[in-house]
Protein backbone atom coordinates (compact mmCIF):
# COMPACT_ATOMS: atom_id res chain seq x y z
CA UNK A 1 0.00 0.00 0.00
CA UNK A 2 2.79 2.38 0.91
CA UNK A 3 4.65 1.56 -2.30
CA UNK A 4 1.58 2.42 -4.34
CA UNK A 5 1.18 5.74 -2.52
CA UNK A 6 4.85 6.52 -3.05
CA UNK A 7 4.59 5.81 -6.77
CA UNK A 8 1.34 7.77 -7.05
CA UNK A 9 2.88 10.78 -5.31
CA UNK A 10 5.98 10.56 -7.50
CA UNK A 11 3.78 10.52 -10.61
CA UNK A 12 1.65 13.47 -9.43
CA UNK A 13 2.46 16.81 -11.05
CA UNK A 14 1.30 19.81 -9.02
CA UNK A 15 1.96 22.14 -11.95
CA UNK A 16 -0.26 20.08 -14.25
CA UNK A 17 -2.98 20.18 -11.59
CA UNK A 18 -2.71 23.96 -11.37
CA UNK A 19 -2.87 24.31 -15.16
CA UNK A 20 -5.88 21.98 -15.27
CA UNK A 21 -7.59 23.98 -12.53
CA UNK A 22 -6.96 27.18 -14.53
CA UNK A 23 -8.58 25.53 -17.54
CA UNK A 24 -11.61 24.55 -15.49
CA UNK A 25 -11.77 28.12 -14.13
CA UNK A 26 -11.71 29.55 -17.67
CA UNK A 27 -14.58 27.29 -18.74
CA UNK A 28 -16.50 28.09 -15.54
CA UNK A 29 -16.06 31.83 -16.09
CA UNK A 30 -17.27 31.46 -19.68
CA UNK A 31 -20.41 29.55 -18.67
CA UNK A 32 -21.23 31.01 -15.25
CA UNK A 33 -20.17 34.56 -15.96
CA UNK A 34 -22.79 35.04 -18.65
CA UNK A 35 -23.77 38.36 -17.16
CA UNK A 36 -20.27 39.77 -16.86
CA UNK A 37 -18.35 38.28 -19.79
CA UNK A 38 -18.98 39.76 -23.24
CA UNK A 39 -20.29 37.38 -25.85
CA UNK A 40 -17.18 37.72 -28.01
CA UNK A 41 -14.93 36.46 -25.12
CA UNK A 42 -16.97 33.37 -24.25
CA UNK A 43 -15.81 31.19 -27.13
CA UNK A 44 -12.10 32.06 -26.71
CA UNK A 45 -12.42 31.41 -22.92
CA UNK A 46 -13.97 28.00 -23.57
CA UNK A 47 -11.25 27.23 -26.15
CA UNK A 48 -8.50 28.40 -23.77
CA UNK A 49 -10.01 26.36 -20.92
CA UNK A 50 -10.25 23.26 -23.09
CA UNK A 51 -6.67 23.72 -24.30
CA UNK A 52 -5.43 24.15 -20.70
CA UNK A 53 -7.35 21.09 -19.52
CA UNK A 54 -6.08 19.02 -22.45
CA UNK A 55 -2.50 20.26 -21.96
CA UNK A 56 -2.64 19.49 -18.24
CA UNK A 57 -3.99 16.01 -18.92
CA UNK A 58 -1.27 15.27 -21.48
CA UNK A 59 1.37 16.71 -19.15
CA UNK A 60 0.13 14.58 -16.23
CA UNK A 61 0.02 11.49 -18.45
CA UNK A 62 3.59 12.11 -19.59
CA UNK A 63 4.69 12.63 -15.99
CA UNK A 64 3.01 9.39 -14.93
CA UNK A 65 4.50 7.48 -17.87
CA UNK A 66 7.97 8.78 -17.09
CA UNK A 67 7.62 7.83 -13.44
CA UNK A 68 6.31 4.40 -14.40
CA UNK A 69 9.25 3.83 -16.73
CA UNK A 70 11.73 5.00 -14.08
CA UNK A 71 10.24 2.63 -11.51
CA UNK A 72 10.26 -0.20 -14.06
CA UNK A 73 13.97 0.38 -14.78
CA UNK A 74 14.74 0.51 -11.05
CA UNK A 75 12.74 -2.68 -10.45
CA UNK A 76 14.56 -4.45 -13.30
CA UNK A 77 17.93 -3.38 -11.89
CA UNK A 78 16.93 -4.56 -8.40
CA UNK A 79 15.73 -7.88 -9.81
CA UNK A 80 18.97 -8.35 -11.75
CA UNK A 81 21.03 -7.57 -8.64
CA UNK A 82 18.94 -10.01 -6.59
CA UNK A 83 19.44 -12.75 -9.19
CA UNK A 84 23.20 -12.11 -9.18
CA UNK A 85 23.24 -12.29 -5.37
CA UNK A 86 21.24 -15.54 -5.48
CA UNK A 87 23.61 -17.03 -8.08
CA UNK A 88 26.62 -16.01 -5.99
CA UNK A 89 25.06 -17.51 -2.87
CA UNK A 90 24.29 -20.73 -4.73
CA UNK A 91 27.85 -20.93 -6.06
CA UNK A 92 29.26 -20.26 -2.60
CA UNK A 93 27.03 -22.92 -1.05
CA UNK A 94 28.01 -25.46 -3.68
CA UNK A 95 31.73 -24.68 -3.21
CA UNK A 96 31.44 -24.96 0.56
CA UNK A 97 29.60 -28.29 0.25
CA UNK A 98 32.30 -29.63 -2.07
CA UNK A 99 35.03 -28.44 0.30
CA UNK A 100 33.26 -30.07 3.25
CA UNK A 101 32.98 -33.32 1.28
CA UNK A 102 36.70 -33.22 0.45
CA UNK A 103 37.59 -32.44 4.07
CA UNK A 104 35.43 -35.32 5.32
CA UNK A 105 37.00 -37.71 2.83
CA UNK A 106 40.49 -36.59 3.88
CA UNK A 107 39.60 -36.99 7.56
CA UNK A 108 38.16 -40.44 6.98
CA UNK A 109 41.28 -41.44 5.05
CA UNK A 110 43.41 -40.13 7.92
CA UNK A 111 41.28 -42.08 10.42
CA UNK A 112 41.67 -45.27 8.38
CA UNK A 113 45.44 -44.75 8.19
CA UNK A 114 45.64 -44.13 11.94
CA UNK A 115 43.54 -47.23 12.64
CA UNK A 116 45.79 -49.30 10.39
CA UNK A 117 48.85 -47.99 12.21
CA UNK A 118 47.43 -48.67 15.66
CA UNK A 119 46.31 -52.14 14.56
CA UNK A 120 49.77 -52.83 13.15
CA UNK A 121 51.40 -51.66 16.38
CA UNK A 122 48.99 -53.70 18.49
CA UNK A 123 49.77 -56.88 16.57
CA UNK A 124 53.51 -56.33 16.14
CA UNK A 125 55.30 -59.31 17.74
CA UNK A 126 58.49 -57.28 18.35
CA UNK A 127 56.72 -54.83 20.68
CA UNK A 128 55.27 -57.24 23.17
CA UNK A 129 52.69 -54.64 24.13
CA UNK A 130 55.15 -51.99 25.25
CA UNK A 131 55.25 -48.59 23.61
CA UNK A 132 58.49 -47.38 25.15
CA UNK A 133 61.51 -49.19 26.56
CA UNK A 134 61.18 -50.45 30.15
CA UNK A 135 63.70 -47.98 31.63
CA UNK A 136 62.02 -45.00 30.03
CA UNK A 137 58.57 -46.23 31.17
CA UNK A 138 59.86 -46.53 34.75
CA UNK A 139 61.27 -43.01 34.70
CA UNK A 140 58.02 -41.65 33.23
CA UNK A 141 55.97 -43.31 35.97
CA UNK A 142 58.28 -41.85 38.59
CA UNK A 143 57.53 -38.33 37.46
pTM beyond 0.75, yes or no = no
- Using DSSP, how many helices (H) and how many strands (E) does the chain show? 4, 0
pLDDT, greater one: 107 or 3: 107
Is residue 2 very low, low, confident or very high in pLDDT (cuts 50, 70, 90)?
Answer: low
What are the φ/ψ torsions at residue 29 (nearest 5 degrees)? -65, -40
Task: Reply yes or no on whether the pLDDT at 34 is more than 80.
Answer: no
Measured distance CA(71)–CA(9) in Å, rounded:
13
Q: What is the pLDDT of residues 38-77, one digit of tens each?
A: 888 888 989 999 999 999 999 999 988 988 898 899 899 9
Q: What is the pLDDT of residues 113-135, one digit of tens each?
A: 888 777 777 676 666 656 777 78
Backbone torsion region of residue 123, taken as left when φ is above 0, otherwise alpha when ψ lies between -120 and 50, otherwise beta: alpha
Predicted pLDDT of residue 130: 63
Predicted pLDDT of residue 101: 95
Q: What is the pLDDT of residues 69-126, one digit of tens each?
A: 988 998 999 999 999 999 999 999 999 999 999 999 999 888 888 887 777 776 766 6
pLDDT, greater one: 26 or 130: 26
Amino acid sequence: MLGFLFQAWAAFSPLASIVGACGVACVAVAFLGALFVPERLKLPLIGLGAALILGAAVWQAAEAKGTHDAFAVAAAANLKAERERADLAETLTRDLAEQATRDLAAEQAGSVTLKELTDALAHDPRRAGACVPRDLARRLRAL
